[in-house]
Structure 1
Amino acid sequence: MSPYTRPSIAPQVFVDADGQVIDYGHRWSDSPPTEAYSVTVHPERYAPLHAVAAALIDHLRLTYDVEVDEGAHVVADLLVAPSWDVPRAVRVRPRDPKCAALTFVFTAFPGVIVHAGLLHDFPYPLCGCDACDTTWQREADELEEHVFAVVSGNYSESVERRDGEPAAWYQVRFANGSSGGSSSISTVAPERLEAAAVTLPDLPSGWRPWPLRHAAEA
């Protein structure tokens, strides 16, 4: 089985209104200007994320013991419906129910939203406005790192009460350390919380690593 390789992406060049090349990722030496917030002049710079997500899906399908389901219906896996059109959506679900599934939702922004496990969505890019000044390469790094953390069993979820309010928590253990976060319970449908209440207590150490696909099936 071949290791994952990011697809080759042709260099992109974008210019501003004066015809000057925009050096995304290095635009602001200080705080971004106010007018850069909530504005994305060249959202198409994130289009390579679609190619990266497609390559990840193909790699997961060929490498691990999974079921792949593609179609508009899997967009419902997201906690919140995307505000952009969805040209493609794919769920990759390990046959072992103790492994977290991944759903890739391609948006027309263009970007990718990944639903991992039961209770969390992870968008790439998170914002994408000119003030954030991220590059598709940085977003792809984070997307790949997150996907393989889930696949390797370095992802856990829980529903906990902190400061008196319930919240859905997650932890991702990356090679360079851990990352944690939470989402509001108000975004989680009651039936999802019920499913989580049944499943997550049996996973005190987190979701399990994905089993490999048998060579005869490859």
Structure 2
Amino acid sequence: MAEPAELFPGTVRSLPDAVSAASFSWPGSAPVPVRFVEGFEEFVAYARREGEDPAGLSADIARLWEFLTGRTEVVETPALWASAARFAGNVLAVAHPAATWRVTPELEVGTSTRSVPVAGLVRIMVEHPEHRQPFLEMMASWPQADEDDREMAALSRDTHAPTLRFPLVAFERPAFPDQEYRDSGGRIIDYGNRWEGGQPPEETYSRLSHPERFAPLMMDAESLVAYLQASYVVEVDRQSADGEVRFTLRPSSGATMTITATKESVQVRAGALFRASAPECACDACDESADTAADHLEEVVLAIPAGGLREVFPVGRRRWQHVQLLRREGAGSSGGPPDPHLSASELEHAVDTLRGLDRGWWPAWTLREN
């Protein structure tokens, strides 16, 4: 009969320290990743009392799920539940060797792409046998997700960025009109500073008040288009209907850009698959103002003509897209699935288009000679 410490193929350690956004490690002092943790002895004893071999459970996540199904006493007994959670987390680390433990403050096992709260997993195993097959399918796809993530990370580390070509005269934002909005209690809302660095209330994530505060973005979009038309060799088509203004900018070289403005937001499309929105999120929790949304809009719209847009698609077996935006001050990158509304033929057209670019970088628009 195997001792508990011998059930898993590695050293059993204590839990790692809690992960904190404010944590700091001196160079070379990064904590050792923990694959298997202690504290599962009570569950091992329970399994043996129930006539099950813990060694078989420790090597097979599907078998563990079958064993736990319907055993409500496991989650009704706090100490046993905690022990079962540690055992289940170790089994996850056996099934996916790249996964390690983290405290966030929940106990989780995962990688950079996926992380599983183990106490919640045990409850699902006990109460929801119908989730077993989808979970096993997720486990089967996890290695590929990690591989795709490494490929995306490698693209983000690519240092062969182009030199941006900005006009000599910088863009100046038009003066936005003063706006004053009040909450249900009659208090003035200071958008952009509502939470003073604290956490917004939970209900604000699903609440959108005063979306009309973003109406000045239409002015900003108009001014941006006029600035680009005066600075670059670009053909501009303007269409207006039903409170919406759409600008299509077709440069002599580089990525075509479409800017669609309403009284509540501005949408930007460029290149093959690039999409951006200002505001990025209009909910009360995110607390964007017209000025913060305009900051984002201007960063995007000014970076693309300067040659700061990179698109790589498809990446990995999941066929995700990788986007980099190189701005006058700093850079950013993102990755994920392309717009789900795009058809297969549109995606293949994007592949063909991007194949002709240098590592995915769209060339800068041609500056006008003043």
Shorter-chain TM range is: 0.7 to 0.9
Report the more deviating stretch, 49-58 or 196-205.
196-205
1:91 alignment partner, SS class: strand
Contact 1:104/1:114 (8 A) holds in 2: yes
- TM-score when normalising by structure 1: 0.83
List aligned pairs for 1:1-218, cutoff 5 A.
3-29=170-196, 30-71=198-239, 87-96=244-253, 99-108=254-263, 110-162=264-316, 164-185=317-338, 186-205=340-359, 206-215=361-370
Report the more deviating stretch, 128-137 or 171-180.
171-180
Shift of 1:148: 1.3
Q: Which has the larger radius of gyration?
A: 2
Code of the residue aligned with 2:231 in structure 1: it is T
Which consecutive residues of structure 1, in runs of 5 or more, have no partner in the other structure?
Answer: 74-84
Separation in 2, partners of 1:178, 1:2: 21
Separation in 2, partners of 1:132, 1:54: 25
Identity in percent: 35
Contact 1:72/1:89 (8 A) holds in 2: yes
Shift of 1:196: 2.1
Give CA deviations for 1:127-184 in whole Å, capped at 9, x if unaligned: 201111011111111111111111110111111333x310122111123432111342
Separation in 1, partners of 2:365, 2:235: 12
Contact 1:4/1:59 (8 A) holds in 2: yes
> How many residues are treated as equivalent by the alignment?
200
Code of the residue aligned with 1:54 in structure 2: it is E
Separation in 2, partners of 1:65, 1:183: 32
Which consecutive residues of structure 2, in runs of 5 or more, have no partner in the other structure?
Answer: 1-167
Contact 2:221/2:259 (8 A) holds in 1: yes
Q: CA RMSD in A?
A: 2.1
Contact 1:168/1:184 (8 A) holds in 2: yes
Q: Which has the higher strand share?
A: 1
Separation in 1, partners of 2:202, 2:328: 36
